Amino acid sequence: MAAGVTLNDVAKAAGVSIASASRAINGLDNVTEEIRDRVLAAAGRLKYVPHGAARALAMSRTNTIGVILPDIYGEFFSEIIRGIDVGARARGLHILVSGSHGDLNEAVTAVRSMAGRVDGLLVMAPYANAGDLAGKLPVNLPLVMMGGSAGQADLPSLIIDNYGGALDAVRHLREQGCRRIAHISGPENNLEAQDRLRGYLDGLKENGGTQEPIVLSGDFTDNAGYAAVRGLLRGTMPDGLFAANDMMALGASLGLREAGLSVPEDVAVVGFDDIPVTRYASPPISTLRAGVFDIGQRSLELLSVLIERGDAEGGPPPASQTVRPELVVRASSRRLSPSNA
Amino acid sequence: MAAGVTLNDVAKAAGVSIASASRAINGLDNVTEEIRDRVLAAAGRLKYVPHGAARALAMSRTNTIGVILPDIYGEFFSEIIRGIDVGARARGLHILVSGSHGDLNEAVTAVRSMAGRVDGLLVMAPYANAGDLAGKLPVNLPLVMMGGSAGQADLPSLIIDNYGGALDAVRHLREQGCRRIAHISGPENNLEAQDRLRGYLDGLKENGGTQEPIVLSGDFTDNAGYAAVRGLLRGTMPDGLFAANDMMALGASLGLREAGLSVPEDVAVVGFDDIPVTRYASPPISTLRAGVFDIGQRSLELLSVLIERGDAEGGPPPASQTVRPELVVRASSRRLSPSNA
DNA sequence: TTGTACGCGTTATCAG
DNA sequence: CTGATAACGCGTACAA
């Protein structure tokens, strides 16, 4: 398959050895002008394109980094990829992406299929049993975990302070006068979602708070947020809502409006992640900016350092970094008048 | 770099030949149970992971397809990737993506860097000089163009009828009573944008229409849409607006509302592409559903057929398919009362 | 400067 | 069923 015409063909066509052809093509300086021209001409004529796999095998270098995410599309992951992309471009690296679709086994499969085809790995695997992954990793392959829950495995990672962010969300809602704050949670086996839930629960207890927790289970999709709100309609409505991510906040906000309730007057809403859409929603959604873009970019930087110093998993300190999400207050939770709870 | 432990190490550790080790690992049936077990045990113990590049080189098969898009993030491309992803998953294929950032040269670079590392290519390159690309392609590498303008190169492709879609947009606006319809165009050198512009212009002339065209130049970003509307505020406002894509329609809608104009009563707005956000905007944006997801999925199917039959660019009919976008009417252009132009 | 020959890690062919 | 061994396409010491 691949490119039928090889370096050998070019060399032959140019009447030189394969070694000279290689040198000419790679722009080394120890080649006569004449030969270089002949080779380049032949290459152009034959439409020669170097065979990536062969080159990688010979050089133990692919100039490609592998990225494994739960999904490779959607607002959230798209932003991460963007962060990775700009970093990679600057370093002349290519990207091999793969989605694990929420399944650890698929993540493992993806990792294995990337061995020998990438110089390093960026993986996001917020699964409860993500620790197992470390054991099945190819040795000697630089790797950075993205957004892993604090200190799970001792791999270099970029940690998001989900717990702290959730705490901030609850505090903010209280400051806006909310007395009954509900939470729409993420998937049960998702570590980040778990931390956000913990933050919500602890936030309620702060300053002697006594509100009974109201947890509606969701799965990070807009539909889940919508459904959660619909379910709420039969009972007493909360006056504050903290969703574990923006998509659910969006769906919830839509559901509230359809039910004739106003946001934020009747119910103040806060999401998590700060994906781009939040700006366009009406009202625009308050959220916690985890700096999705930055996470991607910084992970890549971390990884390329590891690659450059020929490091693998061993090495000195895991060099993890923690990111504390920043509260972004928008119309969905900004109340001009005191609460009417 | 890569995975330090090779098949050779495993074979040695298991006390068998490298050939048997290979067979055992690949699950061929001509191996004794005992040997298989020994090999698998050794492999597990040593954390052996096959070297992708080497395997690719030996088998001329990568089980990976390359995808080249103008960008690899954002609502629009994200949807395409999703379409590709589901198709790829079903076939056990991996995805190597690369962004050309609107530059043909980068696209060429990306293509070359993928040779020998993928079994086929899916490329979207809506540039005026995209024809040049065909000349610089590696021979013998199956390729499908996505969304190319009708019949540019004679490569197998999935063509979107941008012209027809634009025509529908204008017709629709007229039916809603619009008499002065403006157009926010896409990047000048973008073929798809050009076709949409043509559709707009011709649409105005249909049925003896005499309206003078009002074209505001944009670049497919929300900011451009916003800016275009701001610029319009000094003069006579149109009562209909057809943006070359949804992001610009979104920005424009935002700008109109900020200026105190109502959508669709004062100005009816129609976008193009039907990206997911359009549903969450207020009002939800009318648009032309190009079936972005489908394009991705169908391209992949087309490509995998080409790959399977060992085809390259030659072969029988280019097997191109054309997709006619479907008008999706939402609140942004639905007028209950006649126009007040 | 140029050419020869070996190695990268796997698969596949062909004797045994 | 098993084990040498020749590809795969390319980079690169090494020798000329």
Cβ–Cβ under 8 Å, residues A75 and A275: yes
* Distance measured from the CA of protein residue A50 to the C1' of nucleotide D16, in angstroms: 28
Cβ–Cβ under 8 Å, residues B253 and B285: yes
* Distance measured from the CA of protein residue A42 to the C1' of nucleotide C15, in angstroms: 41
pLDDT tens digit string along A69-115?
999 888 889 999 999 999 999 998 999 999 988 888 888 888 889 99
What tokens appear for A293 in the block?
A: 């873009």
**Among A residues 47-66, those touching chain B with beta carbons less than 8 Å apart:** 47, 49-57, 60-64
Length reported for chain B: 341
Q: In strand D, which positions have an atom below 7 A from any protein CB?
A: 1-5, 7-13
pLDDT tens digit string along B208-261?
999 999 999 999 999 999 999 999 998 899 999 999 999 999 999 999 999 999
- Which domains does chain B possess? 1-48 (1.10.260.40), 162-290 (3.40.50.2300)
pLDDT tens digit string along B96-129?
989 998 888 888 888 888 999 999 999 998 876 6
Instruction: Encode A197-266 in three state secondary structure.
Output: HHHHHHHHHHHHCCCCCEEEECCCCHHHHHHHHHHHCCCCCCCEEEECCHHHHHHHHHHHHHCCCCCCCC
Whole-structure pTM value: 0.86
Q: Residue A288 — pLDDT band, cuts 50, 70, 90? A: very high
Cβ–Cβ under 8 Å, residues B83 and B76: no
Q: Residue B150: what pLDDT?
A: 46
- B310/A53 touch (CB, cutoff 8 Å), yes or no: no
Q: How many CB pairs (< 8 A) connect A and B? A: 178
Q: Which residue has the tokens 């170097």?
A: A50
Cβ–Cβ under 8 Å, residues B268 and B337: no
Cβ–Cβ under 8 Å, residues A333 and A170: no
- Nearest residue (CA) to C1' of C2: A20
- A102 in contact with nucleic chain D (CB within 7 A): no
Q: Residue A315: what pLDDT?
A: 52
Q: Select from B4, B95, B113 the Cβ nearest to the Cβ of A97.
A: B95
Q: What number of helices (H) and strands (E) belong to chain B?
A: 12, 12
- B26 in contact with nucleic chain C (CB within 7 A): yes
- A54 in contact with nucleic chain D (CB within 7 A): yes
Cβ of residue B328 closer than 8 Å to a chain A Cβ: no
Q: In strand C, which positions have an atom below 7 A from any protein CB?
A: 1-5, 7-13
C-alpha distances in angstroms, A324 versus A273, A290, A295, B266, B285? Answer: 11, 7, 11, 44, 35
* Cα(A73)–Cα(B2) distance, integer angstroms: 27
Nucleotide nearest to B58 (CA to C1'): D8
Q: Residue B139: what pLDDT?
A: 77
